[in-house]
Chain A
Amino acid sequence: MRWRTVLRSSSATWLAPLLAAFVAFLVRDDLVAGVTAGYWPSVFGAATFALPFVTPACAAAGAWEGSRIARGNVATWAPARGGLAIAWPLLLPVLALGLLGMAVAVAFTLTATAPAGGMPPLSVAAMWLVVLLANAMAGFLLGRKLPLVIAAPLALILSFVLTAYPATLEPLWLRHMVTGGVNGCCSLDQTINWRPVASATVLALAVILAAALALTATGKRAVRLAATGLLTVGLLGSGALAYGLPATPTTPRSTTALTCSGTEPQVCVWPELSSHLPTIQRVAADTRQRLQHAGLNVPAKLTMAEHAGTGAQYIGSWEQATADNVRIGIAAGLLPANPPACADRGEFPGEVAFGPLGAWLSLTAGASKGEVAGRYGQQETALAARIRTAPAAQQRAWFQRNEPALHNCTTKPQLKLTGQTAGGAQ
């Protein structure tokens, strides 16, 4: 069949604008929500949200094409070409349909934030490719066996259920076997975890191989057994790779990627922010000075690496290089990142101190009240602002009195400043 004929007669051709419109109008808002600005893994991770909507289209189109083979009684013509060779030209437009759907999704995540540099995570794109092909081939087989009116809707529904539904199931790692666990990826200090991606790829490859085997030689018992064996191995391999992973499995980004500048303080940021480094460095120096003036010790090295190491401080992994982000990030780095371990076992009275202390540090660092309120809450920020009106020594004493409450479960915070009303923040 000429490629022109293939394209003209394929169900994928008329499904393409429908799928593109579906992704553009119905999935767009979810695609662009929470994309980390300028970061390729996040662009592709967010675009993966469209995968459970694109794969059913591929499965249904695959079923349609498979039914054409059955309706055309192609086998009765005693073709010299094998089943896979006959299926391939019909499946290629279906695969192209899937890639178009994902390309539209990427286009939207890219418009939300265009990465200035770096490489797109090709492993994620490869995973999409095999998942789409697996769905198309499975649909194709269904279409060969069942009447079109049953095969196409069945493929559509089954594909959607198998791709989207595991995300609602426990254990959490089940979902990674079908979509690769990259949906929530990644903030700038994270990168894609290879295990969930490999898990989805392995299962999809097993489906592809089993389908290829079924297409190459139908009806033979040995072939059915081999295909079942392949699917079993694929399921086990995929499950082993995904087993135990959390809902959003990511890997800490290598600190070798950081770009550093300046001294006193030296500031290290992720490459996506390197063009803003002079500004960040200037704001960071001012922030550090303000905090030190308030009697706080700020290390000379400020870094976006979460595990900063001795003599360095983590400043968060924000994606917009605004002065407020820099100031709030440095201020927040002076507090413990997480509650103490004892908080998991019982009462943690210091919990209420997190907000006011964080807000006070941020305001002291020079951050705007609006941004601080957005981060720590209105009441907490109001309390911190009142504390800020007290003499410097009194503020420092207030901070030193309450800060230990964040490190253990026995110290009760005393957020009221003598002579002031603490409001509802307690």
Chain B
Amino acid sequence: MSLQFTRCSFQYGRKVPVLDRLSLTINHRATVLLGPNGAGKSTLMGIAASWHSPTRGSVAWRGREPDTARHRAAYRAAVGWLPQHIKPMPGLTVRENVAYLGWLKGMARREAWDRSAPALERVRLGSLADRKSHQLSGGQLRRMGIAGTLVHHSELVLLDEPTAGLDPSQRKVFRQVVDDLLTDVHLVVSTHQTEDLDAVYDHVVVLDRGTVRFQGDTAGFLALAHPGLPEARRAEGAYTQLIEQEV
């Protein structure tokens, strides 16, 4: 029942390695991955999605590794993935895009189409199903992407910076969507946002410069904050404490 990174290293081209022999096991229902810019969050999420292949080491979900073409297809079908930068397939409506994402993940055309409508309802985009995807706002586009991760039978959903650039009302809708997701999938979300952290996630991983600074339950993470901080600012305080310690 776990997402496991074993001695994972990764570098873009000949640049400095982003991850260096990182080992991490995530086996909770809802995990948030925090870290500053350049910490390696998106790279780690990309490896978890098997979009990136680690230059060394391995990743496995429930013991399955994306190590051969066949295994990779099965792995990718089981892992839903929302990349940070979303671009819809040109020319398709919102529902067609969601069905297409399901088809990309190995579903039959018909099944993907049939499941696309309920998936859109779950992310509160049912009313926009027939709209052209390029007419959606940034937040709507992300929810369309989440619907794409739900349309196929994913066991694990990875969301990379899903709330970046969203206004407070869109973030609220997003939190509701995430709450709903947790009823049937495992979730790993990378984000900068620390608000409402304890309300959504039960596990926290803090990554900095390619290494894990913290891993533990949400209560343990919040306990790192200065005791004098108000409740609403404790997550931010704990995060700042961890990162500044290192600096």
A residues contacting B by CB (< 8 A) are 1-3, 5, 8-10, 68, 71-82, 86
Contacts and interface: CB of A to CB of B under 8 A. Distances in A.
A2 B91 CA distance: 13
Contacts of B113: 2
Contacts of A10: 91
25 contacts: A1-B103, A1-B109, A2-B109, A5-B96, A5-B99, A8-B91, A68-B89, A72-B88, A73-B83, A73-B86, A73-B87, A74-B89, A75-B51, A76-B83, A77-B81, A77-B101, A78-B50, A78-B51, A78-B76, A79-B105, A80-B76, A80-B104, A80-B105, A81-B106, A82-B73
Contact of B99 (A2, A71, A73, A75): A2
Contact of B77 (A9, A71, A74, A80): A80
Contacts of B92: 1, 5, 9
Contacts of A5: 92, 96, 99-100
Interface string B68-92: 0100111011010101011111111
Given A3-B109, A9-B92, A77-B101, A72 B76 contact: no
B54 interface: no
Contact of A9 (B76, B81, B96, B104): B96
A74 B86 CA distance: 9
B49 interface: yes
B40 interface: no
Contacts of A72: 87-90
A77 B83 CA distance: 7
Given A74-B104, A77-B101, A80-B77, A9 B91 contact: yes
Contacts of B96: 1-2, 5, 9
B101 A80 contact: no
A80 B74 contact: yes
Contacts of B106: 80-81
Among A71, A72, A73, max chain B CB count under 10 A is at A72
Most chain A CB within 10 A, of B72, B89, B110, is at B89
B74 A78 contact: no
A85 to B, nearest CB: 9
B162 interface: no
Contacts of B90: 9, 68, 71-72
Nearest to A1: B100
Contacts of B51: 75-78
Given A1-B100, A1-B109, A2-B109, A78 B81 contact: yes
A77 B85 contact: no
B220 to A, nearest CB: 32
Interface residues of B, number: 32
Nearest to B134: A71
Contacts of B85: 73, 76
Contacts of B79: 78
Contact of A79 (B69, B76, B91): B76
Contacts of B77: 80
B73 A80 contact: yes
B76 A71 contact: no
B160 to A, nearest CB: 10
Given A71-B87, A72-B90, 7 more contacts: A73-B86, A75-B51, A78-B79, A80-B72, A80-B73, A80-B76, A80-B105
Interface string B139-171: 000000000100000000000000000000000
A101 to B, nearest CB: 22
Nearest to B87: A73
Interface string B94-136: 0010011101111001100100000000000000000000000
A78 B76 CA distance: 7
Which 3 residue pairs are nearest across A and B when measured between Cβ atoms? Answer: A9-B91, A72-B89, A79-B104
B88 A1 contact: no
Contacts of A73: 83, 85-87
A68 B104 contact: no
Contact of A81 (B50, B88, B89, B104): B104
A147 to B, nearest CB: 13
A63 to B, nearest CB: 13
Nearest to B145: A77
A77 B49 CA distance: 8
B104 A77 contact: yes
Nearest to A86: B104
Contacts of A68: 89-91
A76 B87 CA distance: 9
Contact of A1 (B81, B99, B105, B148): B99
Nearest to B91: A9
B207 to A, nearest CB: 20
A74 B109 CA distance: 17
Contacts of B99: 1-2, 5
Contacts of A80: 72-74, 76-77, 104-106
A137 to B, nearest CB: 19
Contact of B49 (A1, A78, A86): A78
A88 to B, nearest CB: 12
A338 B90 CA distance: 63
A82 B113 CA distance: 20
Contacts of A79: 76, 104-105
Nearest to B66: A78
B89 A82 contact: no
